[in-house]
Amino acid sequence: MLIRLRVKNYALIADMDISFRGGLNILTGQTGAGKSILIGSLNLILGEKASSEMVRSGEEEALIEASFDIVGRMPKSLSSYVCAGEPILLKRQVIRGGRSYAFINDHQVTIGKLKKVGEILVDLLGQHHHQSLLNVDNHRRLLDHFAMDDELLQKYTDQFEGLKRHQEILESLINADELTKERKELYRFQLQEINAAGLQSGEEKKLEQKVIVLRNAQKLKDTAREISYSLSEDDESVLNRLRGMLKAFESISELDNSLKEKAMQWKESIYSLEDIALDLSRYGDTINTDPEEFTRIDERLHLYRDFSKKYGPGYDSIIEYRDKISKKLSNLENRDEQIKDIDNKISFLRENVYDLGQKISIKRMTGSSELKKKIEAELEELGMKGTQFNVDIIPVSSNAGVEVTDGNDSCLAGKYGLEDIEFIISPNPGEPLKALAKIASGGEISRIMLALKTVLAKVDAIPLLVFDEIDAGIGGDIASLIGKKLKDLTQNHQIICITHLHQIASFADQHFQVRKGEKNGRTRTEVEQLTQEERVAEIARMIAGDEITDLTIEHARQFLQGTAEA
């Protein structure tokens, strides 16, 4: 719902700030007051093309801001700009010279993005490009929501997407035939090479340690023997001296029992050093200085380094690569089986898509017939008797379709079903039906759109509808009927309507008057919300023009009272 519209330095508008509410918001005013300027500013905020002529004379930039309150579920396309429950602010800035900028909640966006968001929030109905019903893509969506529930459509979408996905996989498998042969040979060679090497976890580190020992074998032998000799073999060895001191320690421990534990620790230390001395004397004999052993270990380490370059650093990476290509090789060798399996799935999905598509087609045919009757009945009430409306159901074209079958019959299927949908109409009896976009009259377009919106009110999710020129070429009872239908539409939408007819204006929940005046020697357009008494005066003006009498005022008051009770 639009809650606020601010327009600054746009055409004849200096600075205008309007607060809207739900229900029917009516804008009236004398011809030339600037109602079209207001529509122009709305078009701009909805992503239409900007020009430097839009900027008010003497100013450097124009600014239009529209604040919307999102009621219900947040559309996905808006969720990146605003959190649920927060208002959304659309802003358009036009710089003299022609440049323009777009913002959503103070995030700068492209004009295209602003337009897409605008299409979700507002439908501007009249002789304007920004109309959802002039977009053929919306016709299928609206008919489907009118004719069936979402569950059937979702089932079709799931099956169709599955069909497309499996067809892409199949095509990829078939096109990869030559590449498959080359990869098989490569993977087989690599698997054989890795498996033949007999790699072991932790082996590389052990080998690196062995190389260090072999390179320092003589130093290790000499140092070990020297330490062993100093510990136990020399006359003045460490152990001989410790044994001598042990005797003295034991003698004083006889005098003081508290020293006996320490003496025992001393004796155990001697035993430990004796073991170390013996191990060191034997250690030198265990070192292998055979050159062939060194060569074997070096070659083994070279193998690890070579594999690390080819398959990944270290044992774990090499084994991970081996397991990966083993799985790929298995998949490649089972390619024929895969193709057969996917082909079977495709056949199954083709039948499902065909079956669901036929069900959708039946509902569309039934729904389009019902929609035709309701739209034509609405148009007749709106003074367009003899207008023909139809839903053109066109089989999906060959360049956009996928062949589906039930085993006997076949047809082409698209993303949304077996056919494309377009609303067509002929406002003049005897004339051929045409696309909605080809209807020239702004008044006819507005009334046709009102009829469509009335019938499709519950399935049309756009919150704000703006009607312009809906009263062109009508009056009397039909004008009153249009006012009532606009009022009825407020059960599902917020409505803004620009009108010249008192029969429509009298149904307003909020009534605004557009005026052209002069301030500081400059012409300007202003908009003011009317009080109840001001509404009476405005309705009287719309009935009688400038020559308003007491009788006209009373007539206007009675008219407003009558519509309030309707």
Beta bridge partners of 339: none
C-alpha–C-alpha distance, residues 204 and 312, integer Å = 14
Residue with tokens 């009110």: 457
Residue 333 in this model has a pLDDT that exceeds 80: no
- Say what the pLDDT of residue 566 is: 65
Residue 309 in this model has a pLDDT that exceeds 60: yes
Q: How far is CA 339 from CA 168, 171, 332, 345, in A?
A: 12, 9, 11, 10
C-alpha–C-alpha distance, residues 313 and 306, integer Å = 10
- Say what the pLDDT of residue 260 is: 87
**pLDDT grade for 138, boundaries at 50, 70 and 90:** confident
Count Cβ atoms within 10 A of the Cβ of residue 390 and give its class: 0-12 exposed, 13-18 middle, 19 or more buried. middle
**Segment 249-259 mean pLDDT:** 86
Query: Which residue type sits at 503?
Result: Q
C-alpha–C-alpha distance, residues 144 and 150, integer Å = 8
What is the DSSP secondary-structure string of 20-57?
--SSEEEEE--TTSSHHHHHHHHHHHTT----GGGBPT
Assess contact for 446 and 386: CB atoms under 8 A.
no
Closest Cα partner for 413 from 342, 352, 369?
352
- Say what the pLDDT of residue 166 is: 94
Residues whose CB falls within 8 Å of the CB of residue 22, separated by 6 or more in sequence, listed in order: 1, 490, 494, 509
pLDDT in tens, 337-375: 888 899 999 999 999 999 999 999 999 999 999 999 999
C-alpha–C-alpha distance, residues 514 and 41, integer Å = 14
pLDDT in tens, 202-253: 888 888 888 887 778 778 888 888 888 888 887 778 888 888 888 888 888 8
- Say what the pLDDT of residue 420 is: 93
- Say what the pLDDT of residue 210 is: 83
- Say what the pLDDT of residue 178 is: 59
Residue 146 in this model has a pLDDT that exceeds 70: yes
Instruction: Return mean pLDDT, the chain.
Output: 87
- Say what the pLDDT of residue 547 is: 82
> Directed axis angle between helix 476-489 and helix 335-381, to 10°?
140
- Say what the pLDDT of residue 405 is: 92
Question: Mind spelling out the 3-state secondary structure of 319-375?
Answer: HHHHHHHHHHHHHHHCHHHHHHHHHHHHHHHHHHHHHHHHHHHHHHHHHHHHHHHHH
Q: Quick check: pTM over 0.85?
A: no
Q: Which of 224-228, 284-288, 308-312, 522-526 has the lowest mean pLDDT?
A: 284-288
Cβ–Cβ contacts within 10 Å for residue 87, how many? 13
**pLDDT grade for 130, boundaries at 50, 70 and 90:** low
Residue 31 in this model has a pLDDT that exceeds 70: yes
- Say what the pLDDT of residue 159 is: 96
Assess contact for 492 and 458: CB atoms under 8 A.
yes
214 secondary structure, DSSP code? H
Distance from CA of residue 112 to its chain's centroid? 16
